[in-house]
Structure 1
Amino acid sequence: MTTTEPELLSVQGLHVAFPGRGGAPPARAVDGVDLDVRRGEIVALVGESGCGKTTLARSLLGLVRPTGGRIVFDGAPLELSARALKAYRKRAQLVLQDPSGSLNPRHTVYDIVAEGLRIHRHPGDERTAVAEALSRAGLRPPERFFLRYPHELSGGQRQRVVIAGALVLEPELLVADEPVASLDASVRGEILALLLRLRTELGLSALVVTHDLGLAWNIADRVAVMYLGRIVETGAVEQVLTAPRHPYTQALLSVLPEAPGSPVVLAGEPPDPSRIPTGCRFHVRCQVLAGGEAARAGVADDCRNGNLEILRADGDSQVACHWARARAVEATAGGEAGGGAAVRPG
């Protein structure tokens, strides 16, 4: 994937906040995000549970209303009226994590896949469109699945039905929220291969939300690492995942079986999004700050108190970390290469 492809989806300074309970401050689930997805590109959005990934993904489909910033699709700002969202969702589809929860158990596979066609009053032959969508999703011959119910299918087949339901409207963008998290390992590779094939054959763009860095390695062109509502590191997938610069990215990668050295165990849980720390929002759990490396680099006070700007939505490798930036300056001055330990996620 080249960086010259035009953006299909552009997120600019996006904020999503939820009212606090009992007079508490609002929870800033998405707290300033710039993110682009280009035509024919797969971007992985990674991070641990509670970092805001799913809220961001749902806001991109208009399912959660942003409280600030804007979403631009195919060069036009996304309008949040019911009519505009209906037209938009014909071009951008959501694939959810749990196929069992997203499929109506009382509907046949045919009716599940045909639902989008009926909602959007799609012209043309419905039966042909459903059969083509099922076939593209890897359920062949498609007619064999028309009258089956979700409980009669395997987990992998159910996820393929979900994907077929998204494909039937011939969208340009898929937003896939943990698309293989509930599947057996033997099926995960099949679904990932399917997404890659759909990108090649149909020119689909995709934003894949995941906590699995191995999945990101295998499927994505670019990766954006999210922590406490913000992107903290982004760039080409191979660059970010083989030479991570942010301590949070390094910690996520360290627990993979093939990672060198000992796993980094982060202290505690991510802070409450209604009480985001000053300075770097990761500093209260940061192994670099706790181990004294930030102090030796002369940036410990910046880590605790110095705010970091929102990372730009372009193809460049970027990191929101005072320590990583200090190391980069030092490496440039000394002619040394920076970055974390090289890891090739499986």
Structure 2
Amino acid sequence: MTTTTDNGAPLLSAEGLHVTFPGRNGAPPARAVDGVDLDVRPGEIVALVGESGCGKTTLARSLLGLVRPTGGRVTFAGTPLAYGARALKAYRRRVQLVLQDPTGSLNPRHTVYDAVAEGLRIHGYDGDERAAVAGALSRAGLRPPERFFLRYPHELSGGQRQRVVIAGALVLEPELIVADEPVASLDASVRGEILALLLRLREELGLSALVVTHDLGLAWNIADRVAVMYLGRIVETGPVEEVLTSPRHPYTQALLSVLPEAPGEPVVLTGEPPDPSRVPGGCRFHVRCQVLAGGEAARAGVEEACRTVDLPVLPGTGGTAAACHWAATRTTV
């Protein structure tokens, strides 16, 4: 884990963001993102963590302009995101997506050179294309780059394919990348190499990143800050060391408890996350909360609040915060 030295204005911000999708067969709309504030500062790596289905990929797609919010707004470098074709094209040159499945995101009929050059061609790059492609491949750790120009994805290892995907994002010299489960499909031996690459790119290029993951161990190794998401909202956020060594929200505690190095017994959450079209009243985690089920919330005098009183949207940046009635009764760290 490294620490950013830039504490200036956010580069990318979500402010009161909502994304809803129409319900099926007369069901209420699904609140995939249900009020989120989230900032990424220049040179900072933020990990967005949560179970599958919690809304983190929808949030990431809305930050990229791929899904239009139904409420709130996205700003980049202080300017609200516009959704016209020309504005989005200019925005996506500055903010690039790295997908989790390099095999699926690379066209098997395109050479490595064409895969990396595609973004340059879409954006009408008028410089030396060959030099730009070579530079991106080299920065992504594929050296000498010319050795990879005419190769096809099936001729590469999984780690090499992921480096090609990263090179395709770097070739446009973006200011921020959104990496959706960037190492989930890779062998353990390769995961560390890709994470080290992302950290090196931050140091060398000043690149910011939002890393979407279900893996708190990955967040520990790469992020400056972590935002833990549950059922459409951020439920805990703060500097990664503070959140992961002294988690305040019971959901974060449960996620951490299943890591191999975690002390004590794993916390087994009951049931699945609720349907986002039927978000429970009160704390949205209360129907699965081990603290409530174990009687600790009652002893703290907040059991009724857990079931009935909604919690405010957490601030997007700053110190540690948890959306939890029980945590609010305890001494913060």
Q: State the TM-score bracket (shorter-chain normalisation).
A: over 0.9
TM-score by length of 2: 0.98
Trace 1:240-319 onto structure 2 (pairs within 5 A).
240-319=243-322
Residues of 2 paired with 1:217 and 1:66: CA distance? 30
Over residues 222-246 of structure 1, what are the superposed CA-to-partner deviations in whole Å (9 max), with x where a residue is unaligned? 0000000000000000000000000
Determine whether 1:113 maps to 2:122.
no
Q: Is the Cα contact below 8 Å between 1:3 and 1:315 reproduced in 2?
A: no
TM-score by length of 1: 0.94
SS of aligned partner of 2:282: coil
Please, which of 222, 226, 233 is the counterpart of residue 223 of structure 1? 226
**Distance apart, 1:22 and its partner CA:** 1.1
**Distance apart, 1:2 and its partner CA:** 3.9
Determine whether 1:68 maps to 2:49.
no
Over residues 42-74 of structure 1, what are the superposed CA-to-partner deviations in whole Å (9 max), with x where a residue is unaligned? 000000100001000111111111111000000
Query: Aligned-residue CA RMSD in angstroms?
Result: 0.8
Determine whether 1:58 maps to 2:45.
no
2:44 corresponds to which residue?
41
CA, structure 1 residues 220+59, in 2 after alignment: closer, same or farther (shift >3 Å)?
Answer: same
SS of aligned partner of 1:58: helix
Please, which of 96, 99, 119 is the counterpart of residue 96 of structure 1? 99
SS of aligned partner of 2:48: strand
Residues of 2 paired with 1:41 and 1:288: CA distance? 33
Q: Which segments of 5 or more consecutive residues in structure 1 lack a partner in the other structure?
A: 329-337, 340-346
Residues of 2 paired with 1:3 and 1:127: CA distance? 33
Residues of 2 paired with 1:111 and 1:61: CA distance? 23
2:171 corresponds to which residue?
168
1:180 corresponds to which residue?
183
Residues of 2 paired with 1:16 and 1:158: CA distance? 32
Q: Which segments of 5 or more consecutive residues in structure 2 lack a partner in the other structure?
A: none
1:192 corresponds to which residue?
195
**Distance apart, 1:313 and its partner CA:** 1.3
SS of aligned partner of 2:52: coil
Residues of 2 paired with 1:136 and 1:4: CA distance? 26
Residues of 2 paired with 1:220 and 1:255: CA distance? 20
Q: Is the Cα contact below 8 Å between 2:6 and 2:42 reproduced in 1?
A: no
Residues of 1 paired with 2:257 and 2:327: CA distance? 17
**Distance apart, 1:315 and its partner CA:** 1.5
Please, which of 206, 209, 230 is the counterpart of residue 209 of structure 2? 206
**Distance apart, 1:108 and its partner CA:** 0.3
Structure 1 stretches (4+) deviating beyond 4 angstroms? none
**Distance apart, 1:6 and its partner CA:** 2.1
Q: Is the Cα contact below 8 Å between 2:176 and 2:207 reproduced in 1?
A: yes
Residues of 1 paired with 2:62 and 2:107: CA distance? 23
How many residues align structurally? 330
SS of aligned partner of 1:327: coil
**Distance apart, 1:3 and its partner CA:** 6.3
Please, which of 5, 8, 12 is the counterpart of residue 5 of structure 1? 8
Residues of 2 paired with 1:268 and 1:200: CA distance? 42
Please, which of 17, 25, 38 is the counterpart of residue 28 of structure 2? 25
Residues of 1 paired with 2:12 and 2:39: CA distance? 6
SS of aligned partner of 2:266: coil
SS of aligned partner of 2:330: helix
Question: What is the letter of the counterpart of residue 106 of structure 1?
Answer: R
